[in-house]
Amino acid sequence: MTLYYDTGFILLLWGDTVSYRISEFADKCDVNKETIRYYERKGLIQEPARTKSGYRIYSEDAVNRVGFIKRMQELGFSLNEIHKLLGVVDKDEARCADMFEFVSKKAKEVQQQIKDLKRIEHMLKDLKERCPNQKELHECPIIETLIDK
């Protein structure tokens, strides 16, 4: 194992692979260490290898996996749904058992969210057109419209 200090992280070369200790890994993933441990307990990421002294060592693949998890959460997926989707990557037959039904249901939910967001967008555009370009909020019809309701 070789230590390198680069871009603010201590990089460990584990063979030919770049690895991170939990603090550096959490920083690189923009989460806290407890989130990493929680993801491990929930099976979202594998428990990593450890050094002889017991430090967890995470790979660049794990960084990418946490990035995927975070992005899916931003898009409204629950951790249970993300765990199910990762079953495909992990080639886990149990999690993939009813994947077609899961994906079909989720696709319908996403379509409904898109419709709802388009309605909100239309409402906001309508309110924006009613509001004068002036910065004086007390004269803005948007506020009047919202107060009248």
Tell me the backbone φ, ψ of residue 27, rounded to 5 degrees: -60, -45
Q: For residue 22, tell me if it sits in a domain.
A: no
Q: For residue 120, tell me if it sits in a domain.
A: yes
- Identify the band that residue 51 occupies on the pLDDT scale cut at 50, 70 and 90: confident
pLDDT at position 31, please? 96
Number of domains in the chain: 1
pLDDT at position 18, please? 79
Arithmetic mean of pLDDT over the chain: 82
Q: For residue 143, tell me if it sits in a domain.
A: yes
| Whole-structure pTM value | 0.69
Q: For residue 20, tell me if it sits in a domain.
A: no
Q: For residue 85, tell me if it sits in a domain.
A: no
> Which residue segment(s) compose the domain that 117 sits in?
103-149
Q: For residue 50, tell me if it sits in a domain.
A: no
CA-CA distance, 104 to 44, in Å (whole number)?
22
In the chain, the largest separation of any two C-alpha atoms, in whole Å, equals: 69
- Where would I find the H helices in the chain? 22-29, 33-41, 60-74, 79-90, 93-96, 99-130, 141-148
CA-CA distance, 78 to 104, in Å (whole number)?
16
pLDDT tens per residue across span 87-143: 888 888 888 888 899 999 999 999 999 999 999 999 888 877 777 665 655 566 666
Contact between 73 and 80 (Cβ < 8 Å): no
Q: Residue 71 to residues 51, 64, 75, 76, 140: CA-CA distances in angstroms?
A: 30, 10, 6, 9, 37
pLDDT at position 14, please? 47
Q: For residue 131, tell me if it sits in a domain.
A: yes
pLDDT at position 133, please? 67
Burial 109-132 (b: 16+ CB within 10 A, else e): eeeeeeeeeeeeeeeeeeeeeeee
Q: Which stretch, 13-17, 19-23, 67-71, has highest mean pLDDT? A: 67-71
pLDDT at position 5, please? 42
- Identify the band that residue 1 occupies on the pLDDT scale cut at 50, 70 and 90: very low
Tokens of 15: 């063979």
